[in-house]
A = this chain, B = another copy of it.
Amino acid sequence: MQIIHNKDDIKKIRQKHFDKKIGFVPTMGCLHLGHLSIVEKSKIESDITIVSIFINEKQFSEGEDFDKYPKNHEQDINLLKEKNVDYLYIPNSQEMYKNNHSTFIQIKTDDIQVMCGKSRANFFGGILLVITKLLHQVQPDYLFLGEKDFQQFFLIRKMIQELDFNTKAFLCPTVREKNGLAMSSRNNYLNSKELEKASMLYNSLLIAKEKIIQNESCYQDIINEQIKILEQNKFIIDYYELRNQNNLKIVNNISEYIDSRLFVAVNFNNKCRLIDNIKL
């Protein structure tokens, strides 16, 4: 595995492998089995796999965890070597953003103003920006993203389509701990007791899904009941919503259930933000 630090060098990789299918897995590092399953998907679909590790300051807002976001480069490198990744790209942040960086990507629809886009002011603007830059630098044929961050996938795919990028985005299934908790680098903020308790989030989604499918009552009542239970257990709810996965609009009637997802985001134990979603 070759490690690359600057953008001119990563651009040369595309030229070198002009006739190969390049798969790209952008990450913020501190890799877990979720990332590694995405890497495996890229290894299957592509001739060459490039993984990037970059903690993208632009997607964090004031008061968020940019400064303490977990890092573990040494372990990350070993894990990626084991997976036979071809190139690891670790851009340096000075090269990524000049001090006076001023060009941004903007999606002007409701779907960017809801859920994580509503709670986190810079989040999707920062993500669309860094993905645009990385796509231009890496020039991959395929881009692999995780299902846990479904809204992120949804918006990146929209940007790719509307701006005619030469890259196809793939959604890779969420990988979970044995107890059901979705894997996330932010789980590193939690101790073992908290990790156990945090699994309530996924279990709540499963229960809500089951009840909604069985149409026990108005789905909003079912969600409200789940919110109440979570709140009693130190989960502060940011959102808990049923949305159509094709347009991220709130589901209004039962005929849409087939294309919908339950989305949840919480602040857990005053320690970290957790998000999750499941398809109905």
Contact = CB atoms under 8 A, between A and B. Distances in A.
Interface of A: 7, 11, 18-19, 98, 100-109, 132-133, 136-137, 139, 158-159, 162-166
A196 to B, nearest CB: 41
Contacts of A11: 166
Given A103-B158, A104-B106, 16 more contacts: A18-B18, A102-B108, A102-B109, A102-B158, A102-B162, A103-B105, A103-B106, A103-B107, A103-B159, A103-B162, A105-B105, A105-B106, A106-B106, A132-B163, A133-B164, A136-B165
A19 B15 CA distance: 9
A107 to B, nearest CB: 5
A166 to B, nearest CB: 6
A139 B19 CA distance: 16
A162 B133 CA distance: 8
Contact of A139 (B103, B108, B166): B166
Copies in the complex: 2
A242 to B, nearest CB: 23
A103 to B, nearest CB: 4
6 contacts: A102-B109, A103-B105, A103-B107, A133-B163, A136-B165, A137-B164
Contacts of A163: 103, 132-133, 136
A107 B137 CA distance: 20
B103 A164 contact: no
Given A106-B104, A109-B100, A136 B164 contact: yes
